[in-house]
Amino acid sequence: MEKDTEPGVLLKAKKPLNWKQRDLEGIELYSIILNKRISFIPEKMPIFTEFKIKLGMAIHRAADMVRSH
């Protein structure tokens, strides 16, 4: 298997034979972007959160450029 150099999540999963779908209404998952548990994905991020995300991406691109030279 080739090593992936991009950030992300790797998951290898297999459903058991007796698997049954469950209602996930009301289940909240932790959002690392919003830094809290959420039960839905908002259409629009709060402006400060959106700024932090874009700033972080710009910093990572700049660091990659510095490392490659």
| pLDDT tens digits, one per residue of 24-42 | 888 898 887 778 898 887 7
Residue 15, pLDDT score? 92
- pLDDT over 90 percentage in the chain: 14
Alpha helices in 1-69 (DSSP H): 47-68
Sole residue written with tokens 């998952």: 29
pTM for the structure as a whole: 0.38
pLDDT over threshold 80, residue 21: yes
DSSP single-letter state for residue 34: T
